[in-house]
Every structure is written in C-alpha cells, then in structure tokens.
A and B are shown apart, each in its own frame.
Chain A
Amino acid sequence: MRDLLRDAWLIARKDLAIEFRTRSAFLSAVVFSLLAIVIFFFAWDATAVAAIDLAPGVLWVIFVFSGLLGMHRSFGVEQPDRAIDGLIASPVAREAIFLGKALASLVFVLAVQAIAIPAVALFYNLPLGGVALPLAGIAILAAIGLVVVGTLFSAMAVNTRLAELLLPMLALPFFVPIVIPAAQATAKLMSGRPVGDTVAWLKLLLAFDIVFIVACTLAYPFTLEE
C-alpha cells in the first residue's frame, strides 16, 4: 500500500512537472472559466434573476467543463510517441499509474477552482467570506469524484477514434450525481443555511467518491493493452 501511494505520487509529480513547465492546459482552463462566468452573466436578465440564485449553478457547470479540459489532457499527454508504453513497462503497479494520474488531475482541477470560485464571487458580487471553508470542502469532495471517473474515461477515450467527443459523452452522465449535490449544498450555504443542512448532500458526495475511487482503480488495469 505504501509503495502504491509512493509510486502514485511519483507519477503525479511527473504530470505536474510537465504541466508546470508548459502551463498550457492550466491557463486555458482558467481563461475558459473566466469566459464562462462572463457569458453566463449575460445569459440571464440580471434585473429578474438575482446573482445569488445563479451562482451555484454557474459555479458547478464551469467546474465540470473546465475539469473536462484537464481530464482530456491526463492521458492525452501520454499519446505522442506512445509514452504510455514506457509507463506500463516501468516497475510500477498499474493501479499506481491510475492513482498518480488522478492525483495530478485533482491538483489541476483544484488549482483552477481556487481561481474560478473567487472569480465568481467577485464578478457576481457574492459574500463568500463566511462560507469559504465549507465551500472548499464541497469543492474537494466534488473534485475527487470528478477526477477519478474522468481519469478512467480519459484513459479509454484517447484510444478511440472520437477521443475529444467521446470523453464528455462518457463522463457527463457520471458527473450528474456530483453536480446535483454540490450545487444544492452550495445554494443552501449561500442562502445562509447552517452547514448541518447540507450533510445529506455531502454524504452522497462522499459515498460517490469512495465507490468510484475503488471501482475505477480496480477497472483501470483492464483498459490497458495486455
């Protein structure tokens, strides 16, 4: 188990180093999020719909789509020169490759969120100060579920003829049980309800995370060439 986590961390560091040096995916995900915030603002009549009613939906829709941008890259970077073969041939458990990839994506998604959530608060003029901590908790729980499922489908989608199209098609139904609880819990918090009111939703997120971390880690070796 310790070896597995150590190897996973090694793989994650490799991916993060690539991302940190190029910063291409991160910058595009951040710019995408900001663009989405702006476009969403003009999609509603600001005099009819209060920003506070819009914000939770906007936040989690952006979260899902900017997450997808990062997910596609997860195994996309291993495609040129069949770099994935090198990873598979290395003396690392296949489960560790998966966990490492997911971990790197988790850092990526959370980093994008760390900019996108305050940006929503800024542009929509929301008082997020009081709920920052529970909101961060929801974001972490939601991000874990998103990256484990997304990483597995990224591994599968890159090997198909429809890579860019197939990933959202496969992954979005799986993001529904993440977006619904996250958006509902966020809406409750923003309307001033106590954290206790969101416990049912948080439990659902946590259960999703546990089930899919186990299922996707076990399933990943089956997606590799034998």
Chain B
Amino acid sequence: MKPTPLTIAAIAAVAVTYIRAIFFTPLEAIQGPAQKILYIHAPAAWVAFMAFGLVAVASILYLWLREDRLDRIAESSAEVGVVFTTVVLTTGPLWGKPIWGAYWTWDARLTLTLFLWFIYVAYLVMRGALEDRATRARYSAVLGILGALLIPFIHLSVYLFRTLHPQTILMKPSAPSLPGEMLTTLLLAFASFTLLYVALLRSRYRYAVTRDGAHPPEATVA
C-alpha cells in the first residue's frame, strides 16, 4: 500500500513538531529536558481518548444502522487507539522516574489509562477470536459501548486515591499555565498528532476494506 498524501503530511507535521520541540522550545526551569516528553505524552493521550470515543460512537451507530463500514471504523479506531495508549503508558513512566522518583504510581489518571489499554486490548483479542463477521461486529459493538460506560466508574473509583498527576494545563477554566512558546509547541503537537491519527485511521480502514473484500462473507460460509 503506497503512502497517501495525508500520511506523508501527517508524518511531516509530526517531524516539524519535534524539531520545534527539541531545538526551538525553551527548557523547563526545574524539570529540564525531561519535560519535553510532554509534547509526545499529552497529545498521544488526547488521541487515545478521541479514538476510543469514536469506537463508542461507531458502536452505537452500528447496532442501530447495521452498516459494515461502521464496524470497520470501530475496529480501526480501537487499534490505532491502543497504539497511542501504549505510547502514553511508555512515555509516562520514562518521565515519572526522574521527576516523581518512580516509574509507576497508582494515581487516578495512570490507572484509568492502564485500564483503557486493558479494555481495548481485550476488544481486539475478542475480535480476533470470532470467525463470523456479523457476530464479531455485534459483539464488538456491545463491548465498545460497555467499555465507554465503564470509564466514568473506573475514574470515580480510582479518583478517591489521592492524585499525583500534574494538573491539567490546557483545558481548564482559567488561562493556560504554560509559557507562550511551550504552549505553541504543545498545541502544534496536538494538531500534528490528530493529523497522524486521522492518517493512521484511514490507512487501517482501507486495510479492513481490502481484507473484507478479499474474504467476502459467502466465502467463509463455504
């Protein structure tokens, strides 16, 4: 499969983001270079949440409309989401060791992200364990919806353990508490990661279309 212009643009945008993040964004006074991981970590988390949100929406719509396309969107988005969640769970501890003094803490947000990863890995494993396409689509949609319902409960139950995570710096009522240059880099990282997500989602979706076209339902019955 040849890379599409969208994929090339997304990769270029991510490259530009990191050139800016590494060479043209000032060092954080206390954390030093370790803080730069924010420009991977936070946008990856944003993409992961967006990806799983799309899984839930596509799952609800699938049960309603029974369009194969929606199932493929959910499948593709879940897979891309798991990749980005893995990035979040890898970069977080790398930063946590020098700054917090520990790779892992049972902080509310860490725990929630870990469980997101568990839920959607199980989602992908279940997809792999089902032969029949219609059954797979229905089961996946049910799990996609229940998974979304579960998230607030996990969040609530782990939240009551005191949270250690840096507080939100962007999406909060008051002005963002990040110097202008860093903020620009962070916003650029969000934009380029979103673009990368769309590009990966599209490639993964096209793969699903090709695969389903190569093995139509009739062929699996016979």
Contacts and interface: CB of A to CB of B under 8 A. Distances in A.
B68 to A, nearest CB: 15
Given A170-B143, A177-B154, A156 B126 contact: yes
A174 B116 CA distance: 11
Contact of B63 (A156, A161, A180, A222): A222
Give the most central of B126, B146, B153: most A CB within 10 Å: B153
B141 A222 contact: yes
Contacts of A67: none
Nearest to A208: B153
A215 B208 CA distance: 29
B143 A176 contact: no
B129 A176 contact: no
Contacts of B201: none
Interface in A191-226: 200, 204, 207-208, 211-212, 215-216, 219, 222-223, 225-226
A139 B62 CA distance: 36
Tell me what chain A mostly uses at the interface: helix, strand, loop, or mixed: helix
Given A222-B63, A222-B141, A180 B157 contact: yes
A161 B128 CA distance: 9
A160 B146 contact: no
Contacts, number: 77
A71 interface: no
B74 interface: no
B213 to A, nearest CB: 23
Given A174-B146, A219-B146, A169 B157 contact: no
Nearest to A225: B135
Interface residues of A, number: 31
Interface in A143-157: 149, 152, 156
A173 B125 CA distance: 14
A181 interface: yes
B130 A204 contact: no
Contacts of A156: 126, 139, 142-143
A174 B150 contact: yes
A215 B157 CA distance: 19
Contacts of B122: 166, 169-170, 173
B119 A177 contact: no
Nearest to B115: A173
A204 B150 CA distance: 12
B206 interface: no
B142 A177 contact: no
Interface string B134-152: 1100110111011001100
B158 interface: yes
B103 interface: no
A28 interface: no
Contact of B157 (A152, A181, A222, A223): A181
A204 B154 CA distance: 10
7 contacts: A173-B118, A173-B122, A174-B150, A176-B157, A176-B158, A211-B149, A212-B146
Interface of B: 63, 115, 118-119, 122, 125-126, 129-131, 134-135, 138-139, 141-143, 145-146, 149-150, 153-154, 156-158, 160
Interface of A: 149, 152, 156, 159-162, 166, 169-170, 172-174, 176-177, 180-181, 184, 200, 204, 207-208, 211-212, 215-216, 219, 222-223, 225-226
